[in-house]
Amino acid sequence: MTAEPGPDRDASARAAGEALAARYREAEPAMRDLPVYNPALSVAAIGFRATDDDAIGVVVTPWFMNLVRIPAPGSAADAQHGAVVSRALPAGVLDFTIGLLDGFGPVESCSLFSPMFGFADQQAAETTARAALAAVLDPNFTADPKPEPAARQPGAPAVALDRRRFLRGALSESRP
């Protein structure tokens, strides 16, 4: 069992989140001409904190918003770039893709939004990032509301909502 997160570990997690954001800021000029770039946004590390031996938070960029797990140094030695790993969080199990950033090291990312055109400004993006992080760290969170049978219109298809779809921004219904 690992020690509980504390102020020193949370400060280290925030520093790791800021270092990660700095790497994305360095990449930002190269992203500006891509069609997924939202010029109303900037890069930010949101809510990074210590959990067990890693750091977790959300990275907001003008081209994506990801829930990010930064593994403790040395814990990802056998991780393969591009592999998907399932991580148990208080709200449930989510899939993270392992990446290796030059000048930073291993990161695990779970996409929340991409592209970012649904956000008019930085405040809206950061508010959403904080809400998503709070949701995944809340063991009582559920995105599966129990709808009243009368609430659905006759003939309307039922839409199953689950945490994974909610956290990946897949709230829209697809129709045949």
Q: What's the pLDDT at 154? A: 52
20-35 burial: b if 16+ Cβ within 10 Å, else e: bbebbeeeeeeeeeee
Q: 7-136, which class in CATH?
A: alpha beta
Residue 54 has pLDDT above 60, yes or no: yes
* Residue 159 in this model has a pLDDT that exceeds 50: no
pLDDT at 144 over 80: no
Distance CA 155, CA 122 (A): 39
The answer to whether residues 58 and 46 touch, using CB atoms and an 8 Å cutoff, is: yes
The pTM of the full predicted model, rounded to 2 decimals, is: 0.77
Peptide bond just before 115 cis, omega within 30 deg: yes
Is the pLDDT reported for residue 175 higher than 90?
no
- pLDDT higher than 90, residue 66: yes
Q: Any idea where the domains of the chain sit in the sequence?
A: 7-136
